[in-house]
Structure 1
C-alpha cells in the first residue's frame, strides 16, 4: 500500500484564518506583496560546515511537523492547514568576498 504524501489535514486556527485573509487581500491588489511572507538571509563569518547546516535544517523540519504546515484553499471556499509528510529544504549558498 502506497503511503500518502500528506501527514495531516487540520482546520485553521483563528490566527491562521486572519493571516490567510490578509494574504488573499494582498493577492487581489496589484503590486502589493504579502506582508506575512519572509525570507531569511544569514551572513556567517569563519569556517562553516554548510552540508551539516543544511542537514540540520532538514532534521528540524522532520522533527517539528508544525514547521511544515501549508495553508490550502478548498474548492468550496474555506481553507485548511496541510502537513506534508516530507519537505525538501530550499537551500542556496554563495560566497561573498
Structure 2
C-alpha cells in the first residue's frame, strides 16, 4: 500500500486500494506514515482492521481517501472467535467495499 501510494500518479493509476495500510509501526504512532497516504494523488480506498496494530481506523487523520473499517480485524484481517463475527462476514465486508469502490471509479 505504501509503494502504491508513492507511485500511483507517476504510473497513471486510476486509484489506490490500500488493504491494511501500515500507518505506523506497532506501538509507535509518532512515526506516522500518513504523508505517503496523503500523497497518493488519486482516489484511494483504505480497508483497515479495527484492531490493526499498524493503525486503527480512528488513528487516521482526515484525508481525501475513503476508509472502510473491518470490525475486530487485525493487520491480516483475522478476527478472534470471541468477536462474534465470522471469517465469511469479514470477507464480505472487504470484498463488498472493494467492488463498490472499483465500480465507482468507472
Asked whether the two chains share a fold, i.e. TM above 0.5, the reply is: no
**TM-score (normalised: structure 1):** 0.25
**TM-score (normalised: structure 2):** 0.23
Q: Which has the higher contact order (CA 8 A, sep 6+)?
A: 1
> 1 or 2, which has the higher helix percentage?
2
> 1 or 2, which has the higher strand percentage?
1
